[in-house]
Structures are given as structure tokens and as C-alpha cells.
Amino acid sequence: MSGFTVVEAEFCSLFTETLAFGLYLTSFGFCAKVLLTINSRWRHFDELNIPMVAVAFAMFVNACFDIALAMYMNWRAHILYQGPGGPEFILEDISHWTELARSVTTLTQTIFADGILIYRCWVTYNRSFRAVTFSVLLWLGNGVCAFFLIFYQANIRNPAIESASKLFPFGVAFWAVTVALNVVTTSLLIWPIWKSARENEQFLSHSTGSKSPNTLRSAMVIIIESALLYTMLSFIVFVTYTTGNNAFYIAAEMNIQVSGIAFNLIIIRTAYRNKISQRKDTNAQSVSLHFIAPRATGITSMTEGPTEYDKTMDNGVLERSVFGSTL
């Protein structure tokens, strides 16, 4: 994108972020329904998963605030300001409060998304801090980078601090750590699900001689797809920031909305999958028992289809990783 100016980048970022916000708004409505209602009624307070509800609404408010700031900043640059330098003079002044506020919303949304990913991983590992120690250290490091990014950006015109030379390294570190944190934590999150899915398939294969559909794998796909959506865009932000390409403005503003969409999609798709599973269980008819020869493990018989162990592990692992507790 040679010659892609800041003014052009801001126009494009406003357009693409607005489109993404429309998708985010739709997904948030469905997500709020899942988190706040159950069986066609409002959840009681003790039925709410407070961390998930708090993060869902905090990310949504933050995304709305960023859209408002983007609209005001472009209005100020193209309509209100009539001085020398034109819109470029306004849009390139990153120490102005509107630019600072937009940086805060971008960094905050990223920290929220990474934090809830770590929370899901922590709950999946039965609230073991040892399992998420490395992820937490990366997350705290990102918080430090975010602090210094805002500090140096606010003092970019102060020659005593020399912010310009210090701002870039912290930005590179922030986005690099974000990508690394998502790859590491997502891998930790899907490991117990994949392990349980493999054990269930081996159990069914030895017991019946056939492979029944394993719903744990669909749980794994839900998490991987949403994580991939967010991680890939964060990687694009990292590349554009590192190379100094003005497309960074487009990618960074899109990332605010996409991080919220990815968060909502995990909850929505999991709730839908569990609802379908419950309907199948309700409508299922009795099946005949097929007795097989005793194995060394002492298993003597089983029913056709997924075992009760499979269903329990499926619902337990996925719901803990998504909601933090069974809905």
C-alpha cells in the first residue's frame, strides 16, 4: 500500500469498523440472551455467571465508545478544523485526547479478550494456577506494555522524555505478546478436550468396533475457530505496526470488534450445540443392549451410541471452558 496516507487509512478504518460493529451488535444480542436467560425466563442472580456477563458488557461498551471516538475524530479533522495542515495535522497528532482514548479502547479490548481466554483455561484445569502461570505472566507483561504505550503517547511532544523513540518498541512487544499468548493459551485450552475426545473414541472403538460421532471434537472446533479468527487479525495488526504500514489503523480498529465477536461466538455456538444435544437426548428412543465378551478392563456390556461418560465429559469440559460453570 505505497502512498496509503493516514487520512485514507482513517476513512477506511471507520468504514470497516462500522461494518464489523454491526456484526458485533448482532452477536452481542444473542450472547446476552444466552447469559441472561434460561428456559424462556430471566436468570436469577445466583444463576448468572458474573465474570462472563461483566466481560461481555464491558467489551461491548468499550467497542461502542471506540466507534463514537472514531466518528468524532474524523468529524473534527474534516469539518471542524480549518487551520493549516488540513486533516493530516489533526489525525497525526497522536497526543490529542481523542487519539489517546482510542488507544486505550484498543489496548483495553485486547487485554479483556486475552484475560477471558486465560480465565477459561484456568477453569478448565480445575482452577489450577500452575496450568496458566506462563499465560498470566504474558498477560501481565502486556499490561505493562500498554501502560508505557499510553504514557509515551501522551508525552510524544515532550522532548525531555524522548517518547518517540520509546513508543515503537513497546507497541511491537504488546502485539507480539498478544499473538504468543493466544497461541499458547488456546493450545492449553484444547489439550484436555482433545485428550478426552481421543480416549472416548478409543473406548467406543474397543467396545463396539465402530466409531460414533464424538461431540467433544465439535467443542474443540468451536474454540479453535473463534481463537483463530482473533489471533489471525492480531497477527495482522502486529505485522502492519512493525512495518509502519498505515493499514495498521484498519486492522487495529477491526480487532476491537472482532475480539468481541470471537468471544460471543463461543458462547452462542456452545449454547446452540448443547440445546440440540438436549433435544436429541429427550427424543431418543430406547436402544437394545449388545453384550460383548468381557475385556481385561472388566467392561462387560454397553449401549449403542455415545456413552454416559462421553456426554458427561463433553458437557463438563466445554461448559467449564466457555462459561466457567455449568449453565
Helix H, strand E, coil C: the string for 66-95 is HHHHHHHHHHHHHHHCCCCCHHHHHHCCCC
Looking at residue 312, its pLDDT comes to 46
Q: How far apart are CA 78 and CA 125, in angstroms?
A: 52
Contact 160, 182 (CB under 8 A): no
Taking the chain (327 residues) in runs of 10, the rounded mean pLDDT of each run is 79 92 95 91 90 94 95 90 86 88 94 93 89 95 95 79 78 95 92 77 63 66 88 95 92 94 91 74 52 43 42 53 51
For residue 293, what is its C-alpha cell? 465378551
Q: What is the largest CA-CA distance in the chain?
A: 88
Contact 6, 24 (CB under 8 A): no
CB atoms within 10 A of CB 287: 9
DSSP conformation letters of 183-209? HHHHHHHHHHHHHHHHHHHHHHHHHHS
For residue 49, what is its C-alpha cell? 455467571
Whole-model pTM: value is 0.81
Which CATH number applies to 6-281+288-323?
A: 1.20.1070
Looking at residue 179, its pLDDT comes to 96
Q: How far apart are CA 35 and CA 37, in angstroms?
A: 6
Which of helix, strand or coil describes residue 39?
A: coil
Tracing cell 499490561 back to the chain, one arrives at 143
Looking at residue 315, its pLDDT comes to 53
Cα 90 to Cα 36, 167, 248, 254, 271, distances in angstroms = 42, 19, 18, 21, 45
For residue 315, what is its C-alpha cell? 458437557
Terminal C-alpha separation, the chain: 48
Burial of 84 (0-12, 13-18, 19+ CB in 10 A): exposed
Looking at residue 289, its pLDDT comes to 44
